[in-house]
Amino acid sequence: MRISGRTFILSGGSSGLGLATLQDLFHGGAFIALLDIIPAPTSWLEQPESSPSSTTTTAKAEFTRRVLYIKTDISKLAEIENAVEKAVSWTKETGAPLGGILNIAGLGKREQLIDRRGKLHRVESWNYTLDVNLSGTFHLSRLGVKHLSEVEPDGEDGERGVILMVASEAAFDGQPATVAYAASKGALLSMTLPMARDVAHFGIRVVTVAPGPFTTPLTGLFPDRVTEAILKNGVLFPRRYGYPREFAETIRWVLECGYVNGETIRLTGGGRVPAKL
């Protein structure tokens, strides 16, 4: 599927892997409806490598033209409904048809089922993790696919677009104190194939990417000992965290390669997270 001139609804695109994806799509000529609780930074537009063929002023003007920020709490159904309607209305204004739903918003908080002091996992944190990671993804996909199924088919395959979900290595190799996070991400894996089968007759693909450790604001909070343990025992080669641009390049490949469908792509540097770090 071509990226240029298509609109992608992107949740969680204001930081980390989502921001890298937004930047890559922007450079590829896409229009992006950004759903997040804060706007995306634009300081990267001032870097020469970000806009090699245009001035900073031109780049910012183009960003304003092709990126629509819609403040959205992905855990709240009413806000998702509002965001999808605004994004679809925007496509009619720009003439850039919908091309995909990219579910990158997510969170993870460490909490044990029961800790050494006998404190139980809080119901509130369980529910909120699933509301964001699982239900938010489901509802954005559900509401967005109605409109995606109505766009004109494109290319030799008659493709209409892609639903992308982001799981995690934790879905396969969950660490202690990640039961809620692992459950939410494992559910996305289980949803991938049935969703792909549900929408195949519309010419829509469904793909999940399950990244391992990447350089993000979250991993920046890890203690040094945790980082050392991950790089020593949790990654084969290269012995480093993944770069956000490598995640974004994978998303672009998924969008552009029409034969990728109904699969979960593990993006891990060949590593497997050990039981304890």
Which residues are marked as active site? 181
Six-digit token string for 207:
């793909």
Cα distances from 147 to residues 32, 72, 99, in angstroms, run 15, 19, 10
For residue 180, how many C-alpha atoms fall within 13 Å in the half-sphere facing its CB?
24
Cβ contact 6:31 at 8 Å: yes
First to last CA, the chain: 40
Count of C-beta atoms within a 10 Å radius of residue 123: 8
Tokens 């029409």 locate to 258
Count of C-beta atoms within a 10 Å radius of residue 195: 23
CA pair distance 14, 39, nearest whole angstrom: 6
CA pair distance 78, 83, nearest whole angstrom: 9
Cβ contact 126:75 at 8 Å: no
CA pair distance 264, 259, nearest whole angstrom: 13
Cβ contact 189:171 at 8 Å: yes
Q: In which element (H, E) is residue 130 found?
A: helix 123-130
Q: In which element (H, E) is residue 249 found?
A: helix 244-256
Instruction: Cite the beta strand spans of the chain per DSSP E.
Output: 7-11, 31-36, 67-71, 98-103, 161-166, 204-211, 264-267
At position 95, the amino acid (one-letter code) is: G
